[in-house]
Chains A and B, each alone.
Chain A
Amino acid sequence: MTQDIVAGIIVGLLRDMEKSGEIDLPEPCGLETPLFGPEGLLDSMGLVSLVVGLEQALERDHTVTVSLADEHALSQRRSPYRTIGTLAEFAVQAAVAS
């Protein structure tokens, strides 16, 4: 599982959230797209939805069980949820460690 594959899953989840009117997804969106924090797409509840959705997608479609909970979630500097790219990399690292 690579960062690009996970990023693709994240974008898919974000598109679902866009369809349900929760967010406005910028075009194009990619690894640098901010998720959470200054100029981020998501409020705290949106972040919860995305992270839980990503955990479930990884388990359902890739049989990878990871916990993406992180104590630095709300830290602007160290949060793994800053961008699509940092979240994807965080998930890959978690999968490697699991």
Chain B
Amino acid sequence: MNQTSMPVTFITGTRKGLGRALVEHYVRLGHAVAGCSREPIDWHLDGYVHYIADVADEQAVHAAFADVWFRYRRLDHLINNAGIAAMNHSLLTPLSTLNRILSTNVAGTFLVTREAAKLMKSANYGRIVNLTSVAVPLKLEGESAYAATKAAVNSLTDVLARELAAFGITVNGVGPTPVDTDLIRGIPKAKLERLLARQAIPRMATPEDVANVIDFFVRPESGFITGQTIYLGGV
């Protein structure tokens, strides 16, 4: 057991991309950081503990959070970053793809939040941030399955904010514009440019842009801010 006075932050989907960048950001800020991904990571960072867990696997998620509790005896922050996408016309999207995206993006967010909130409840304190997407407000064609799951994540943010408020836990969302990660690798360049043109500030988001909003939500002083979703880029 390694009880810590540092804030403990759990991040899902940390093997690469935005998740990994967030791990590095919060380790730099002095947090004890834990996270998970379905596949093993090929990197190491002092101050970070990794679990191999599919966020939609109830037993694996429970085991990861049981270990977090054993190690730290606290959990301050959860960042629900894990997400998958499939850019395709709805008429060309098989049911198996829809189920896969639902499983990770919706069931995963629900399960991880449930287990994290049980730990946070012990201290009557917690900050949960869900990653959503501008695909919802922009109603992006070709992303019906992905956008629908992120709309569900927005609903989870709204309702969980109310359910968990009594335990001192806030739940908020951040919706980045496209970030240069694997998630958007399949989007044609012309389509990406059309998407960026619909933003007030027409550029890709950086991990620092996303971390800036999360930093705001997880501050102790942000205890009166819950059920809010902030979109980047003026969407």
The yes or no answer to B121 lying at the interface (CB within 8 A) is: yes
Chain B residues proximal to chain A, CB less than 8 Å? 58, 62, 66, 118, 121-122, 166
A-B contact count (CB 8 A): 12
The yes or no answer to A55 lying at the interface (CB within 8 A) is: yes
Q: CB distance A65 to B121 under 8 Å?
A: no
12 contacts between A and B (CB under 8 A): A45-B166, A49-B121, A52-B118, A52-B121, A55-B118, A56-B118, A56-B122, A59-B66, A65-B62, A65-B66, A67-B58, A67-B62
> Measured between alpha carbons, how far is A59 from B121 in the docked complex, in Å?
16
Chain B residues with CB below 8 A from A67, complex form: 58, 62
Chain B residues with CB below 8 A from A55, complex form: 118
Interface size class of A (residues with CB under 8 A): under 10
Residues 29-70 of chain A, each 1 if its beta carbon lies under 8 Å from chain B, else 0: 000000000000000010001001001100100000101000
Chain A residues with CB below 8 A from B121, complex form: 49, 52
- Closest residue of B by beta carbon distance from A55: B118
> Measured between alpha carbons, how far is A20 from B59 in the docked complex, in Å?
32
Residues 65-88 of chain A, each 1 if its beta carbon lies under 8 Å from chain B, else 0: 101000000000000000000000
Chain A residues with CB below 8 A from B62, complex form: 65, 67
Chain A residues with CB below 8 A from B122, complex form: 56
Chain B residues with CB below 8 A from A49, complex form: 121
> Measured between alpha carbons, how far is A65 from B66 in the docked complex, in Å?
9
- Closest residue of A by beta carbon distance from B122: A56
Given A49-B121, A67-B62, 10 new contacts (CB under 8 A): A45-B166, A52-B118, A52-B121, A55-B118, A56-B118, A56-B122, A59-B66, A65-B62, A65-B66, A67-B58
Chain A residues with CB below 8 A from B118, complex form: 52, 55-56
- Closest residue of B by beta carbon distance from A52: B118
Chain B residues with CB below 8 A from A65, complex form: 62, 66
